[in-house]
Amino acid sequence: MRVVSLLFLAAAGIAVTLSATFAALAVAIYLLLAVATIAVVMVGDVLPPARLGRSRQILQVGVAMVVVTMLVALTGGVRSPFVAGYFLIVAAAALSSDDVAPTVLAVLSSLAYLVVAAVVPASSGMDAATVAWAVFNVAALALLAYIATVAGRQQRRAREAALRLARFDPLTGLYTRNYLNSSIEREISRAARTGRAFCLLMLDLDDLKMVNDTYGHPVGDRVIRAITEVIRRSVRETDLAARFGGDEFVVVLPETESGGALTVAAKLRVDIAALVLRVDTRTIRTSVSVGLVSYPEDGATLEQLMASVDAAMYESKRRGKNQIVGYVTRTQRVPTTDQAGAGHTADDGRADDDRRAAADRASADGPAIELTVADTGRAGPPSDRRVRYEPLSPQGSPGPRRVVSRPILPASGAGAPRTFRARAASPWGAFQPEPEIAERQGNGGGVGQRATDIDSVDEADRLR
């Protein structure tokens, strides 16, 4: 509207200058055009848009209507050549506003034009030709309002469709990779300002190619859509889930530490593993391999974070799939797991942990999942905690889990990984705190450490 108004005012000034028809009123017209130009600039460029809000557009339209009406009254009333200003207002409103605005402005313009025709008599009087001219202008305004409304609606629909394609994945309805990248950039800027960390999860479907080859791509699409629904149910409104590739998903968890991200990742992994899709008489089950990274420990830029979470996800694949693995910084090698369930690390001092891990995986109430995160940049002696989800019900039966944290002193400096091992069963159990758990031995000089129940993500982060 601002551009249309300024162009109309410039054209009116040139027309008055080149024509001798309005020489007697030239000063008044120039003054009107000057005041109108100042008003348009004030509303469009000087006054703060945030404070004006939607009233800014109303002010622009109001200024344009008043100026055109006064200009028509000064230059001949019903026969004025500047009646075209009303048409420009209606057309501009159709392109920049909703469907109702052109109709409303067409009615207001017609009323203003008829009032001027009644108040300012034409030089030839209201003869038949003048009346016909006025009726034609009013009808043309109505027709223009209709055409402009249809054209504006089509333009908005095309723009919205283009935005949907750029922002949302057509198969899943999740955000696209491009929108994900821009969102992570914004989250990095916000986290840098506030000092609050955030985490990324990358989920990759296990063996989707086998499903596609066996049952066909339509069934593979059903699997992807089912995974999408699990992700939607598991994340907060403030989180962002995107389809990163064919069978890869990324979840952004704002203001979330790695302990809270592990809780989300574990729930996603368990709920997805519990999915059952039936094709005729056959049953399809799937699982996901999950990588987890945290800002800024695992990357300070979009490229670094995506490289880290991708590496963590592929490490999860390498370990045997259906696991959660965090990116490890400052280490030459991360703990791995062979097919038999025996753990291996670069440090022989973690052998006891490996044997416990093998026993965990061999137990009846579900496979263990693990998250390994490097302990970097801490002041003082390095220390870690191992977080465990342990069943409150008898071993082997489903039931609620409690979260247990105990310190682990790494054997080799600040680069040693922090390992969180979670036992996951379906359905996911609620966290139920107990006042005390039996004492356990840490691996730092044989000093006994008391395990602590955790019933919230915040408490888990505090104990870490």
d(CA 447, CA 92): 78
One-letter amino acid for residue 199 of the chain? C
Which of 247, 353, 375, 384 does the annotation list as catalytic? Answer: 247
Identify the band that residue 362 occupies on the pLDDT scale cut at 50, 70 and 90: very low
CB neighbours of residue 451 within 10 Å: 20
Mean pLDDT of the chain: 71
SS (H, E, C) the chain: CHHHHHHHHHHHHHHHHHCCCCHHHHHHHHHHHHHHHHHHHHHHHHCCHHHHCCHHHHHHHHHHHHHHHHHHHHCCHHHCHHHHHHHHHHHHHHHHCCCHHHHHHHHHHHHHHHHHHHHCCCCCCCCHHHHHHHHHHHHHHHHHHHHHHHHHHHHHHHHHHHHHHHHECCCCCCECHHHHHHHHHHHHHHHHHHCCCEEEEEEEECCHHHHHHHHCHHHHHHHHHHHHHHHHHHCCCCCEEEECCCCEEEEEECCCCHHHHHHHHHHHHHHHHCCCEEECCEEECCCEEEEEEEECCCCCCHHHHHHHHHHHHHHHHHCCCCCEEECCCCCCCCCEECCCCCEECCCHHHHHHHHHHHHHHHCCCCCEEEEEEECCCCCCCCCEEEEEEEECCCCCCCCCEEEEEEEECCCCCCCCEEEEEEECCCCCCCECCCCCCCCEECCCCCCEECCEEECCHHHHHHHC
CB neighbours of residue 12 within 10 Å: 23
Q: What is the pLDDT of residues 275-309, one digit of tens each?
A: 888 888 888 888 999 999 999 888 889 999 999 99
Element (H, E) at 407: strand 401-408
Average pLDDT score over residue span 216-223: 89
- For residue 213, give the 3-state DSSP assignment: helix
Tell me whether strands 198-205 and 248-253 are parallel, antiparallel or unpaired: antiparallel
- For the chain, the maximum distance between any two Cα atoms, rounded to a whole number of angstroms, is 111
The pTM for the full model equals 0.53
Contact 261, 273 (CB under 8 A): no
SS (H, E, C) 222-243: HHHHHHHHHHHHHCCCCCEEEE
Identify the band that residue 201 occupies on the pLDDT scale cut at 50, 70 and 90: very high
Q: What is the pLDDT of residues 141-188, one digit of tens each?
A: 888 888 888 888 888 888 888 888 888 988 888 999 999 999 999 999
Is 50 exceeded by the pLDDT of residue 383? Answer: no
79-83, 211-215, 372-376: segment of lowest average pLDDT: 372-376
Radius of gyration of the chain (CA): 34
Element (H, E) at 163: helix 128-167
Q: What is the pLDDT of residues 426-460, one digit of tens each?
A: 222 222 222 332 222 233 333 222 233 333 333 33
d(CA 266, CA 264): 5
Domain boundaries for CATH 3.30.70.270 within the chain = 172-317
Q: Which CATH number fits domain 172-317: 1.20.910.10, 3.30.70.270, 2.40.33.10, 3.40.220.10?
A: 3.30.70.270
> Which residues, in sequence order, are bridge partners of residue 277?
284
Q: Is 347 a catalytic residue?
A: no
Identify the band that residue 416 occupies on the pLDDT scale cut at 50, 70 and 90: very low
